[in-house]
């Protein structure tokens, strides 16, 4: 009996010791001690008018701008126009050297040959930047004067000559410098320039913010010359006027 009591006592003591030595982990509740909010702020102002907007590379317009590479338009590095709304680049169209012939002929820019007998790799485009930050929209028109001769004889103009152009893109302008706003509308069908302004790009309200270009296909930029209208050894020049308006065409 005494031995049984000793065994029971020892068992109870061991159980008691095991219970005391054992550990129980209780996870504390994750109570927040509070939170605070702060601001990230950037204030925008209108662009300095003295800083010109850089022309883009028309072959890769989404990249940062600089001097357009090899546009086939020598010495044309842009207009250097500043201001929040500006024409940054507009092309010249040099159709090279023509022949005095009795038949009418159409010259296109892509195949134009120059005094060195060579052609050029043309990448003509026009660029507009809208940095006003107002979303008012804008429009770009173009018109052309009559072709006058280098001798200043107004009675010997290149009568009946016509310049035509057509975009190499679709009916939307192409964003430059990574512009992500909605694209303005662009005229995709052929345009015959005249003395009356014609709309080339129309940025309706809430479109056309940032830099935008309209590229033209050099094979579809042409000069039609009526037969027998040209004088030999004479340069004929017409002025193309690119007009930017601070509101869209309705």
| CA terminus-to-terminus distance, the chain | 114
User: Which domains occur in the chain, in start order?
Assistant: 85-245 (2.60.40)
pLDDT, one tens digit per residue, over 189-213 is: 999 999 999 999 999 999 999 999 9
Q: Which of 72, 109, 66, 70 is nearest to 88 (CA)?
A: 66
45 alpha carbon, distance to own chain's centre: 21
Q: Give Rg (Cα) of the chain.
A: 37
Q: Could you give the dihedral angle defined by the CA atoms of residues 183, 168, 165 and 58, in that order, rounded to the nearest 10 degrees?
A: 70
pLDDT, one tens digit per residue, over 88-106 is: 999 999 999 999 999 999 9
CA distance 175 to 195: 29
pLDDT greater than 50 at residue 6:
no
């Amino acid at each position: 009996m005494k031995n049984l009591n000793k065994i029971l006592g020892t068992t109870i003591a061991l159980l008691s010791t095991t219970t005391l030595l054992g550990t129980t982990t209780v996870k504390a509740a994750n109570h927040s001690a509070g939170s605070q909010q702060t601001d990230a702020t950037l204030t925008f102002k209108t662009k300095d008018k003295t800083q010109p907007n850089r022309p883009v590379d028309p072959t890769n317009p989404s990249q940062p701008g600089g001097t357009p590479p090899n546009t086939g338009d020598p010495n044309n590095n842009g207009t250097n126009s500043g201001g929040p709304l500006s024409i940054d680049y507009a092309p010249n169209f040099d159709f090279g050297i023509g022949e005095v012939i009795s038949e009418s002929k159409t010259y296109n820019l892509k195949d134009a040959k120059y005094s060195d007998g060579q052609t050029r790799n043309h990448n003509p485009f026009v660029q507009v930047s809208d940095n006003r930050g107002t979303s008012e929209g804008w429009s770009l028109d173009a018109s052309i004067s009559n072709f006058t001769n280098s001798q200043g004889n107004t009675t010997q103009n290149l009568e009946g000559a016509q310049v035509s152009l057509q975009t190499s893109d679709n009916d939307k302008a192409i964003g430059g410098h990574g512009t992500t706003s909605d694209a303005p509308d662009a005229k995709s069908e052929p345009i015959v320039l005249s003395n009356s302004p014609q709309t080339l790009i129309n940025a309706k309200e809430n479109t056309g913010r940032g830099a935008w270009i309209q590229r033209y296909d050099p094979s579809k930029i042409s000069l039609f010359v009526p037969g027998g209208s040209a004088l030999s050894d004479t340069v004929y020049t017409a002025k193309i006027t690119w007009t930017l308006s601070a509101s869209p065409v309705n």
